[in-house]
């Protein structure tokens, strides 16, 4: 079985990718396209064409998929509330695929039935999300040829709230795979420090969110294991004002866990540097940093190795990461490829 390695890459970062990273990836999720007045699209065609020509020349097998959405990206609920809206969404998606010579569409709706990101929402999102994915799959099938398969995928919230608000057993029939955003599991909404992308939960932790729990939630919701992709973080979450107890782990801070440094910056200036000490939680299979006041949660090579082994043990589809540009050392993409072999 070949395990998929999928990376979210911003359009502007395509030209920065070295050949080794391009060869390592199975799928590049271009982030992000837009949804405007019910239509899907992407800006920057001339730049994109030049970059993709180079990338395809290096790795003809890599799939280029356009991701639509992201945190605070609204418009989904209104756009797909009826047959007419969904038809416009699908038609514009297919036109964008043909115009840009893409290999598929990734829907990153954060989240159906939930408006916490300040987006439009409705209780009918639960069914309409299914109808949208069905429409996309059927639309892609009209483009199919013997030589080319078009991908339909989603990025899903990494906890049971997403499975409660969707019909994943039905959605799973229409998508090639489901990418679990098993990061930000602790952070912006919590003052209690912990692992934002941990593989397992620590029994001593008040909160159980972790990659393994997310996988079990989606399996129970009807998504087969071979369609589940787990997520890795190339960035950190940082809490300030943390009591100097238990090396800062599972402590109430004076701040919520805001976005912290990216992986490259962590390696350059934080891990065992400038007063920060690296620690390892063997229960969660996750690293963290603490300097007596600030706590940082992140993924590194040790935790990514554990995630790769987990994928193999569970028979999952693969791993994806957010996001490429944060690994300024250009280490993790090739490292993950090796670990998934």
Please state, in angstroms and rounded to a whole number, the distance separating the CA atoms of residues 242 and 193: 8
Beta bridge pairs of residue 177: 153
Q: What was the pLDDT predicted at 49?
A: 86
Q: Could you read off the pLDDT of 63-118 as tens digits, one per residue?
A: 999 999 999 999 999 999 999 999 999 999 999 999 999 999 999 999 999 999 99
Query: How many structural domains are present in the chain?
Result: 1
**Comparing C-alpha atoms, which of 233, 251, 234 is closest to residue 294?**
251
Range from 12-16, 105-109, 221-225, 289-293 carrying the lowest mean pLDDT: 12-16
pLDDT at residue 14 is higher than 60: yes
Q: Does residue 309 have an active-site annotation?
A: no
Choosing from 20, 37, 95, 110, which is the catalytic residue?
110
Residue 17 pLDDT class (50, 70, 90 cuts): very high
Please state, in angstroms and rounded to a whole number, the distance separating the CA atoms of residues 288 and 265: 15
Strand 151-157 with 177-181, pairing: parallel
Helix (H, G, I), strand (E, B) or coil at 225: helix
Cα-flanking dihedrals φ and ψ of residue 260, to 5°? -110, -170
In sequence order, which ranges of the chain are alpha helices (DSSP H)? 19-24, 45-58, 76-79, 83-100, 125-143, 160-164, 168-171, 211-220, 263-265, 301-314, 332-339
Please state, in angstroms and rounded to a whole number, the distance separating the CA atoms of residues 41 and 274: 44
Q: What was the pLDDT predicted at 146?
A: 66
Percent of the chain with pLDDT over 70: 99
Beta bridge pairs of residue 63: 27
Residue 1 pLDDT class (50, 70, 90 cuts): low
pLDDT at residue 218 is higher than 70: yes
Place of tokens 């001339």: 46
193-198 mean pLDDT: 98
For residue 74, the domain's CATH number is 3.20.20.80
26-50 mean pLDDT: 91
Provide the residue range defining the domain that includes 222: 4-339
Q: What was the pLDDT predicted at 164?
A: 98
**Comparing C-alpha atoms, which of 58, 50, 145 is closest to residue 100?**
50
Q: Could you read off the pLDDT of 122-170 as tens digits, one per residue?
A: 999 999 999 999 999 999 999 977 678 999 999 999 999 999 999 999 9
């Amino acid at each position: 079985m070949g395990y998929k390695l999928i990376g979210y890459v911003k359009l502007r970062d395509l030209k920065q990718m070295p050949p080794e990273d391009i060869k390592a990836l199975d799928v590049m999720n271009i982030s992000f396209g837009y949804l405007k007045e019910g239509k899907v699209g992407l800006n920057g065609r001339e730049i994109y064409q030049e970059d993709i020509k180079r990338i395809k020349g290096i790795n003809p097998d890599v799939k280029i998929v356009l991701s639509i959405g992201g945190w605070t990206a609204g418009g989904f609920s209104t756009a797909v509330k009826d047959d007419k809206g969904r038809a416009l969404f699908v038609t514009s998606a297919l036109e964008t695929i043909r115009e840009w010579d893409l290999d598929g569409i990734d829907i990153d709706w954060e989240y159906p039935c939930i408006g916490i990101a300040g987006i439009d929402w409705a209780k009918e999102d639960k069914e309409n999300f299914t109808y949208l994915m069905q429409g996309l799959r059927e639309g892609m099938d009209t483009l199919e040829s013997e030589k080319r398969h078009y991908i339909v995928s989603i990025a899903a919230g990494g906890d049971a709230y997403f499975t409660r608000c969707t019909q994943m057993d039905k959605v799973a029939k229409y998508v090639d795979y489901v990418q679990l955003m098993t990061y930000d599991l602790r952070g912006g909404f919590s003052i209690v420090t912990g692992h934002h992308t941990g593989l397992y939960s620590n029994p001593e932790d008040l909160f159980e969110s972790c990659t393994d729990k997310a996988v079990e939630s989606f399996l129970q919701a009807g998504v087969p294991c071979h369609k589940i992709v787990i997520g890795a973080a190339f960035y950190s979450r940082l809490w300030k004002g943390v009591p100097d107890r238990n090396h800062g782990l599972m402590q109430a801070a004076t701040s919520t866990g805001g976005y912290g440094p990216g992986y490259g910056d962590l390696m350059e200036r934080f891990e065992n540097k400038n007063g920060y000490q690296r620690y390892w939680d063997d229960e969660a299979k996750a690293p963290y940093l603490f300097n007596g006041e600030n706590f940082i949660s992140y993924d590194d090579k040790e935790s990514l190795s554990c995630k790769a082994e987990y994928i193999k043990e569970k028979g999952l589809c693969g791993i994806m990461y957010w996001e490429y540009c944060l690994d300024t050392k250009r280490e993790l993409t090739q490292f993950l490829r090796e670990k998934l072999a």
